[in-house]
Homo-oligomer: A and B are copies of this chain.
């Protein structure tokens, strides 16, 4: 059996070697995608000096002496609204312009005096309070300089990036296509239709709908390939059929352990797949199998227990997805353990846990009672996986441990 770190390296290497397709999409649609190009600012922003206030724009030297006892009167020579072109003529000695938020500053002027600091009599504007030079003027290029780096290949994109790219007039972005993942569940005990009553010996299939939604949260499109009862031939046929489709990853759950009906490895060998690893010193998730199908597609055989398949998705499949999209290996967060925990040395354990942010700035983490890999109830409350490492044996309250949020911050 290999260690978690060894297995992870294999997954990351296989993911990095995979040539994921890219596509060009509208900036408005990039949230949930990963950037596939380096983008530099095509223009400077602000595109022109403009006012940050509703007020009067002046030459600073004309008002520098202003005070309540030293009112200064300037002549309003124009009114400039947002959306107006930069005026053809500038502001000369003794002149000012009324200006709205966002409106362009005319040549000569350099400072905006808020409307509250003046009194108006027709075009005679009297200033009674001083401002500092450059006040309330947003300078051209203050936010972005033309040519500066804005996005890099591998950046995960959200609404905030739409804001920045729209500001810059970037209308399209090259992104990695949404990863296409095929998912098969195995087990004749599984009932897919949740509205059917269970017969003796049956359980509901929770893996299929979970995998579909969790992988969506990690930024993939999932094709459900149904449930295979414990039958090698049917399973092998399904794999061949999937290979004719254009998918990037295939996932199965169940039938990877040591039981008489655990046919996944045999099926993979039969169709000529290369087994990259089978079984990892990790719990839950020990029986996980990783392979490369003859067509190059990455294959993850996850254990059938819900927590084990969830760990497989979160720590192996997500790592492969990140590598395929040129994203760096995910960094952990750290939290103070509030529940003592004992484990066997040599194994990495992933623990169902919940964080709390204390008003001392410390993140603390509680472990749930139901850590067995078949226990689903903690999923109702958990918000992260806490990690007990290979060398740990007796973790104490107050120990700082690694945690990973429930969904990959893809």
Contacts and interface: CB of A to CB of B under 8 A. Distances in A.
Interface of A: 27-28, 31, 43, 45-48, 52, 54, 79, 81-86, 98, 100-104, 115, 138, 142-144, 150-151, 158-172, 187-191, 193-210, 212-214, 216-217, 229-230, 257-262, 304-306, 310, 332-336, 357-364, 370, 372-377, 379-380, 382, 400, 406-407
Closest 4 CB pairs of A and B: A83-B189, A83-B188, A171-B194, A159-B213
Contact of A379 (B27, B45, B98, B163): B163
B83 A28 contact: no
Given A102-B187, A144-B377, A166-B205, A198 B363 contact: no
A375 to B, nearest CB: 5
A48 B200 contact: yes
**Residue among A43, A100, A198 with most chain B CB within 10 A:** A100
Given A83-B230, A214-B159, A103 B143 contact: no
Given A82-B189, A85-B199, A166-B210, 8 more contacts: A81-B261, A86-B201, A143-B376, A163-B210, A163-B310, A169-B197, A172-B195, A359-B400
A86 B200 contact: yes
Contacts of A85: 199-201
User: How many copies of this chain are found per oligomer?
Assistant: 2
Contact of A164 (B144, B261, B380): B380
Nearest to A357: B333
8 contacts: A52-B374, A85-B199, A103-B201, A143-B370, A164-B206, A166-B205, A167-B306, A334-B361
Given A362-B362, A374-B46, A380 B189 contact: no
Contacts of A198: 43, 47, 169
